Amino acid sequence: DTAVSQTPKYLVTQMGNDKSIKCEQNLGHDTMYWYKQDSKKFLKIMFSYNNKELIINETVPNRFSPKSPDKAHLNLHINSLELGDSAVYFCASSYRRQGSNEQFFGPGTRLTVL
């Protein structure tokens, strides 16, 4: 009965490859997010989808493409992986409303690009 799940938990790949990370939430939330935690430990928003519509798209290379097939899923596809993409990627979900915006996070996917 995991609330927000991500697969895979670990991903090791070569530079130049294309990879995807999947995220699913069973909380009935209408908004999902992708965050990146880099080597300096900053948690930064990358994307946010509300009811399958992109609402936040921070300055992220266009090699990163989120896809939301439905409200419960938000996948992240990364093309032409680079060394600097190595980080922990967290998926999160919430209701989109003012005030109580507790976001629930998945366990993270540690991506290592060699």
CB of 95 to other proteins, least distance (A): 9
- Return the structure tokens found at 63: 């090699």
In the complex with other proteins, which residue's Cβ is closer, 40 or 62? 40
Closest CA to 32 of 19, 51, 60: 51
CB of 44 to other proteins, least distance (A): 7
In the complex with other proteins, which residue's Cβ is closer, 18 or 38? 38
CB-based contact 12:100 (threshold 8 Å): no
Q: Which residues contact 18 (CB under 8 A, 6 or more apart)?
A: 77, 78, 79, 80, 81
Side-chain half-sphere exposure of 38, counting CA atoms within 13 A:
8
CB of 102 to other proteins, least distance (A): 4
In the complex with other proteins, which residue's Cβ is closer, 1 or 41? 41
Residues at the contact surface with other proteins, assessed by CB under 8 A: 4, 31, 40-45, 48, 56, 90, 92, 94, 96-108
